[in-house]
Chain A
Amino acid sequence: MSQLTALPRPTAKSTRLPKRAATTTSRPSLRVVQHQDAAEHSGVGFVLLCVFLLVGGLIALLLLNTSRAQQSFAIDKLQAKSANLTDQQQAISSQLDDLAAPQQLALRAQQLGLEPAKNVKYVRKADGKVLGVAKASGAQSAFTVGTLPSTPASRAADATTSAASLGLVITKPKPATKDPKAAAKSDSKNAKNAKKDKTTSGKSAATSPAKSAASTKQQTEKKTGNADKAKATSTSTPKPTTTR
């Protein structure tokens, strides 16, 4: 508004200037500003320009804010997606680590009827000489997997639920030979292997319920607290005099 009112001033000034100069020479006659003259300077175009700028500015601001908000939503969406993908990646790579553990591979190999190579021969590249002693693998070279946790319940359940929530298909969690029937069925042709699986699975099944029943939270706390002290007492101080 102030711009609009201020505008006519320069015209007033310009009319005044020649007036001062004219004091020495001839004084022009004053006249009342006609309506037509005033109309020339009333600035309708200018008002329109201002209104246009104002409205334009507001619209621009609105658009900018809208797009900013929109981008913020887009960022949120992408961040959520990224987090989701990170979670998936983490879950899958953790599953891979679990499945790639040597004991899991050994169990799978055992199920497929594979046996570890006992001794291998080497061929020296330089002269083609065969080095070492090789023996055929047989019943004696087979091993049992004795490193399975005796309480697989919680871990197995966790793996299954996380897999289910991700819509993934995973192979049966450990212990893989828990079900003697399944092991026997898969290896029905190889009677020897089936027998072996049965013996290992029998053992793990026998030990698991007793231990899992004993697992209480208090035990953990007690353990973690006393771990260091337990160590200190576990080192023996032998009586040096006794011998045989």
Chain B
Amino acid sequence: MLLVATLFIFSLFAAQLLRIQGFDAQSVSAQALKSRLHTSSVPAQRGSIVDANGTVLAASLDRVNIVGDATATVVYKKRVDGQVRTVGLAGAATDIANAVGVQPQPILTALQQAEKKGSQFTYLAKNVTPAQWKAVQDLQIPGISSEASSERDYPQGTSLAPLLGWIDASGQPGGGVEQLEQKALNGKPGKHVYEQAPDGTTIASGDNKDTPAVDGKNVQLTIDNDLQWYSQNALAEAVKKAGALSGEIVVMDPKQNLKAVASYPSFDNNNIASAGSSDLQSRPFTDAYEPGSTGKIITMSALLQEGKATPASPVVVPPTLTRAGTTFHDAEVHGTENLTLAGVLAQSSNIGTMLAGSKLPSSTIYEYMQKFGLGQTSGIGFPGESDGVLTPFQKWSDTQKYTVLFGQGVAATGIQEASIFATIANGGVKEPTKLVSGIGTGNDFTKPADDRSSQRVVSSSVATQITKMMEGVVSGDGTAKAALVPGYSIAGKTGTANRYDPKLGRYDGYTASFIGFAPASNPRYIVAVTLQRPTKGSIYGGDVAAPVFSQVMSYALKNGGVPPSGKQATPYPLTFQPEKSRKP
């Protein structure tokens, strides 16, 4: 009997053994492995943004969020005066605060509230450095753990903030290059799979499998950081001095590589919470405004290219001119003047430009505006970039047909305006505007693909003539002597436009600008300075913007090691003697 019972029991054992080791072997071992296996995410680092010389403009830093489980922290015990005592939440908060170097009260409050609710997950401190976390970790407080995080550092602060954009609390890019190059900058997180013993230590002989994180790529811009800061600083001072609403500066080379894109007021992208919502945008990209007299360059180029005029063509400018029921004036009251086409540009006569420009049909003017890049974005793809306002010539009103000749009734961005002058500086060939010069890992950058191509807008001889006419603007009789840079020849054009205020829905104040390039004979830099609604002192581009141009241009030339090119070229005659030039 006993034997039977024994055999029966042992056969049960055998059957169970067979089941576990034989039939269910796989699922049981899988279950066991699952209880040991742990997976942790390996964060990928976001790529850096650097300037043309490799200076860091934006970089990601490893940070740690300290997380607390208040229900576990309550039993925190600590040796005080040789005796082990339960110091609880208050003790934990004090110790953590000391280790991190912050006030203990907010941490204690967070813990107490979490405990009341029975919550096992509360953030106690966000974005502390790994070193600070290590100090907290060494305290071995129960229920305190960490969460990997990262923080974006912008060493240049306000000088580049609108151009670079920012990273919000959830790690998503907001505006600027951060958003433009998100695909390249953003990395792919990896996975670390390992076997863990019940006490939390890694089992040395266990299965380890790593999928490494793929870090984001670095992005190099065409921007020169020193020039950028200098421009931003000069702009900040000019805007304050002129009591202007805002200001912008664009610096590029004739190949249209952007060297500086300044926008003021700016914000600090290290501390996005403090930023004003209207300051987040890079105005040269996003704000379109009526350029005013700088737009005369398009009319002059079209006239010369179409063979309708030469720089010496006579234009008799009356004091006022009535067209389409509107009476037009020039900025300064004058009698009838005998100006050449060069003189019309140098003295920025609206009436003269209208008289000369009316030799061209609207369709031709429109065609040149398009060729110079108005009505379309630069193609960079900058977030929120405006394409300006260029209505088709068929829809132009009767007055608009005349006002577009001197840059009113049409709106352009700072980038578009600078691009027009860069086209002239580049011998009449319009290169695509570039902001990103390379994408790569480490310091090994490759040029990003670009399907835009360069286009000839005017012949090189027309470009040379326009340049010489613009040198007249900066000469003794021109509107912008303040733009001069001693030792260099400057070509440029002032602009003082009626400013349309979208908030008010009407014209309010003026847009004062100066755009030019130097050295005129062999252009290296194009600088465009625009101030919106200056209120203190003068409102004219020649008084408000030209001095800023001079400052920024002289720094750019010095910084770029450009040798002095000598004085201004002798300008075309600005006036003519009526008897001599009267046609037979």
List the interface of chain A (C-beta within 8 A of B).
65, 68-69, 71-72, 76, 83-84, 86-88, 90-91, 94, 97-98, 100-103, 106, 117-122, 124, 131-133, 135, 143-151, 154-155, 161-162, 164-166, 174, 211-212, 214-217, 219-224, 226-228, 230-244
A-B contact pairs, 24 of them (CB 8 A): A71-B204, A86-B62, A98-B155, A102-B225, A118-B554, A132-B486, A147-B266, A150-B268, A154-B271, A155-B271, A161-B102, A162-B129, A165-B132, A215-B271, A224-B272, A231-B383, A231-B386, A234-B287, A236-B500, A238-B409, A240-B396, A242-B506, A243-B408, A244-B329
- Residues on the A chain within 8 Å of B506, using CB: 239, 242
Contact A103 B157 (CB under 8 A): yes
Main secondary structure of the interface of A (DSSP, over half): helix
| A126 vs B233: C-alpha distance when bound (angstroms) | 37
- Residues on the A chain within 8 Å of B293, using CB: none
- Residues on the B chain within 8 Å of A215, using CB: 271, 273-274
- Residues on the A chain within 8 Å of B273, using CB: 215-217, 219-220
Residues 441-488 (chain B) with a chain A CB within 8 angstroms: 486-487
| A65 vs B169: C-alpha distance when bound (angstroms) | 46
Contact A240 B157 (CB under 8 A): no
Inter-chain pairs besides A143-B234, A147-B236, A224-B168, 15 sampled, C-beta below 8 Å: A100-B155, A102-B229, A117-B558, A131-B487, A131-B563, A147-B159, A165-B129, A219-B273, A223-B277, A227-B384, A235-B287, A235-B389, A240-B399, A240-B403, A242-B507
Contact A155 B270 (CB under 8 A): yes
Q: Which residue of B lies closest to A130 (CB)?
A: B564
Interface core residue of A220, A222, A227 (most chain B CB under 10 Å) = A227
| A235 vs B271: C-alpha distance when bound (angstroms) | 26
| A98 vs B155: C-alpha distance when bound (angstroms) | 5
Neighbour of A97 across the interface among B59, B159, B290, CB < 8 A: B59
- B28 at the binding interface (Cβ < 8 Å): no
- Residues on the A chain within 8 Å of B328, using CB: 243-244
- B21 at the binding interface (Cβ < 8 Å): no
- Residues on the B chain within 8 Å of A94, using CB: 59, 61, 153, 155
Give how many A-B residue pairs fall within 8 Å (CB-CB).
236
Neighbour of B62 across the interface among A90, A131, A223, CB < 8 A: A90
Neighbour of A101 across the interface among B156, B172, B230, CB < 8 A: B156
- B205 at the binding interface (Cβ < 8 Å): yes
Q: Which residue of A lies closest to B399 (CB)?
A: A241
- B353 at the binding interface (Cβ < 8 Å): no
Q: Smallest distance from the beta carbon of A15 to chain B beta carbons, Å?
A: 41
| A234 vs B175: C-alpha distance when bound (angstroms) | 14
- Residues on the A chain within 8 Å of B232, using CB: 147
| A16 vs B217: C-alpha distance when bound (angstroms) | 82
List the interface of chain B (C-beta within 8 A of A).
55-56, 59, 61-62, 100-102, 129-132, 134-135, 153, 155-159, 168-169, 172, 174-175, 202, 204-205, 225-226, 229-230, 232-234, 236-237, 240, 266-268, 270-275, 277-278, 280-281, 286-290, 326, 328-329, 383-384, 386, 388-389, 391, 396-397, 399-400, 403, 408-411, 486-487, 498, 500-502, 506-507, 554, 558, 563-564
Contact A236 B502 (CB under 8 A): yes
Neighbour of A230 across the interface among B134, B277, B498, CB < 8 A: B277
Neighbour of A235 across the interface among B131, B236, B278, B286, CB < 8 A: B286
Contact B233 A223 (CB under 8 A): no
Q: Which residue of B lies closest to A212 (CB)?
A: B274
| A45 vs B272: C-alpha distance when bound (angstroms) | 83
Interface core residue of A86, A219, A242 (most chain B CB under 10 Å) = A242
Contact B487 A101 (CB under 8 A): no
Q: Which residue of B lies closest to A232 (CB)?
A: B384
- Residues on the A chain within 8 Å of B270, using CB: 149, 154-155
